[in-house]
Amino acid sequence: MRTLLELLRIIIIFVLFGCLGWAVIGNIYTISGVTETYSWLGALAIIVLLFVLYRNKLQFSGWYKGKDRKKLPRNVSITLSSISIILIIAPFILGSL
């Protein structure tokens, strides 16, 4: 039962924070019509950032108390966060080419 509750919590977190993040970034991408075609890269960046946030912070405050809960290694967290930042900036670069 705890696993199902945690799965529901993950879905709610990703939908809620994903929509909030997209509301912020999506409005920035609509400034230019060219960047709007590559806005899916920003959506992918939000999902990756939410994954890093969940694995490093949010999984420890949920219902699931399994033994396999551990943080992402530091270099993996930095790499994924850097990729997300690049993905957020990428539509502006691709739109200017």
What is the distance between the alpha carbons of residues 77 and 38, in angstroms, rounded to a whole number? Answer: 24
Smallest CA-to-CA distance from 50 within 89, 77, 31, 86 is with 77
pLDDT for residue 78: 97
pLDDT value of residue 81: 96
pLDDT at 27: 87
- Those residues of the chain that have pLDDT short of 70 are none
